[in-house]
């Protein structure tokens, strides 16, 4: 039986990229380091882990996974921090309604992470 996600894996090819990943996810977004090994790290993102290997080039094209969405109660605050660090916000914070049954009201925004990954910040409203 599957009970949820364990981790999402990312790949970078240099110490400089790994340093950017560390800074973005640990310092900027406030996640914590779960474990570390010679060619990678695992970051605790709350209810899922981010596994980052630093042992070769990652494919920098959009594949089957379109983006990661992180739950937050302060989309605007996170976007301000990310933008201040020079990361591109390609969808500014906005309120949306997902036309489902029942409808979902949310505030969301998107940015590119240090490896070019698309990240959504999502605050689902009641």
Question: How far is residue 22's CA from residue 53's CA, in Å, rounded to a whole number?
Answer: 12
* 8 A C-beta contact, residue 64 and residue 78: no
* 8 A C-beta contact, residue 116 and residue 59: no
Based on the domain organization, do 25 and 45 belong to the same domain? yes
**Full residue range of the structural domain in which residue 35 is found:** 1-57
* 8 A C-beta contact, residue 90 and residue 112: yes
pLDDT value of residue 114 = 93
Based on the domain organization, do 19 and 75 belong to the same domain? no
Tokens at 31, concatenated: 């996640």
Number of domains present in the structure of the chain:
2
Q: What CATH number is attached to the domain comprising 86?
A: 3.10.180.10
- pTM confidence score: 0.83
Based on the domain organization, do 48 and 91 belong to the same domain? no
- 126: pLDDT confidence band, cut at 50, 70 and 90? confident
What's the pLDDT tens digit per position in 24-78? 999 999 999 999 988 889 999 999 999 888 887 766 666 666 788 999 999 999 9
In the chain, what is the greatest distance between 2 CA atoms, to the nearest angstrom? Answer: 47
Based on the domain organization, do 41 and 73 belong to the same domain? no
């Amino acid at each position: 039986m599957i009970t949820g996600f364990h981790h999402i894996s990312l790949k970078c090819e240099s110490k400089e990229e790994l340093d950017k990943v560390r800074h973005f996810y640990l310092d900027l977004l406030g996640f914590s380091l779960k474990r570390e090994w010679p060619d990678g790290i695992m970051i605790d993102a709350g209810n899922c882990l981010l596994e980052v290997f630093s042992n070769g080039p990652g494919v920098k094209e959009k594949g089957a996974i379109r983006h990661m969405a992180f739950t937050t109660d302060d989309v605007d605050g996170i976007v301000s921090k990310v933008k201040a660090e020079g990361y591109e916000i390609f969808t500014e914070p906005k309120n949306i309604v997902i036309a489902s049954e029942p409808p979902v009201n949310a505030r969301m925004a998107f940015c590119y992470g240090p490896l070019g990954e698309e990240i959504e910040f999502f605050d689902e409203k009641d």
